[in-house]
Amino acid sequence: MSSKTINLTLKVWRQNRKNPAGDLETYQANDISTDMSFLEMIDVVNEQLTEQGIEPIAFDHDCREGICGMCGAVVNGRAHGHMPETTLCQLHMRHFKDGNTIVIEPWRATAFPVVKDLVVDRGALDKIIQAGGYISVNAGGAQDGNTIPVPKENAEKAFNAAACIGCGACVAACPNASAMLFTGAKISHLALLPQGKPGAKRRALSMVRAMDELGFGNCSNEAECEAECPKGISITEIARMNREFIKAAFS
């Protein structure tokens, strides 16, 4: 059975050195299969633009399986689109209707400067990790992981926090462009495990300091980050980060 096709109007943010201010350009996306993913739809549009002598739309992508965190755009005002716990590459065109107008914009944050069109520099998240989101302890030979007792509840919470793929949707969704959900998830992941205890104080202080210095805003409990996170990271990770930071600051 053949798939259904739809026709769409796209309003896409275009920005480059020739147009540093950026603006929305309108394109027609015709005969789009509803079986396509959102990124596949952009691929088709880019082929049509290339045939017309128009520069294709630049966008980030890699695995296209919701794992790598590379893709991301604001679709009709929602980070990764309107489907819950879904990355942009997992968003399918069956969730749109024939004749829809779709507005596609890059992440909006001071710490995420636009490189070109929908591509932004998310290197600030890497700098937060570099500040302390790892374990580095001189402790001789590695102990067998199975011999380290970890309570089941802690293991599950750590696993849930570790599910963060660093896509930056939380920053794009937050009215303050806060990276506290991302930072909270990375701090929580290690704070909940015995392997992360030795460097817990340094980690909390340095990662929060880096987050502030990089120009991210503060959390005002809007919970937009939780609503838009493709991995369902809870804002309880922010609360745990705050506790870790306070303990480190006053110990």
**Closest Cα to residue 238, out of 215, 207, 213?**
207
The reported pLDDT for the residue numbered 149 is 86
The reported pLDDT for the residue numbered 1 is 44
Domain 123-249 fold: Fumarate Reductase Iron-sulfur Protein; Chain B, domain 2 (1.10.1060)
Percent of the chain's residues with pLDDT above 70: 96
Domain range 5-115, its CATH number among 3.10.450.50, 3.90.1140.10, 3.90.1150.10, 3.10.20.30:
3.10.20.30
Find the DSSP H helices in the chain. Answer: 38-51, 123-130, 152-162, 169-173, 180-191, 200-213, 224-228, 236-249
Query: Is pLDDT above 80 for 141?
Result: no
What span, in angstroms and rounded, lies between the C-alpha atoms of 200 and 198? Answer: 6
The reported pLDDT for the residue numbered 148 is 80
Percent of the chain's residues with pLDDT above 90: 88
Q: What is 3-63 written as a DSSP string?
A: PPEEEEEEEEEEEETTEEEEEEEEEEEEEEETTSBHHHHHHHHHHHHHHTTPPPPP---SS
**Residues spanned by CATH 1.10.1060.10 within the chain?**
123-249
Q: Stretch 77-81: mean pLDDT, rounded?
A: 98
HSE, CB side, 13 Å, CA atoms: give it for residue 168: 26
**Residues spanned by CATH 3.10.20.30 within the chain?**
5-115
Q: Stretch 128-157: mean pLDDT, rounded?
A: 83
Arithmetic mean of pLDDT over the chain: 94
The reported pLDDT for the residue numbered 78 is 98
Residue-level length of the chain: 251
Q: Which two tokens stand for residue 41?
A: 């739809």
Segment 154-181, tens digit of pLDDT = 999 999 999 999 999 999 999 999 999 9
Q: Picking from 16-20, 199-203, 223-227, which range would have the lowest pLDDT averaged per residue? A: 16-20
What span, in angstroms and rounded, lies between the C-alpha atoms of 177 and 110? Answer: 8
The reported pLDDT for the residue numbered 229 is 98
Question: Is the model's pTM score more than 0.75?
Answer: yes
Using 50, 70 and 90 to split pLDDT, how confident is the model at 51?
very high
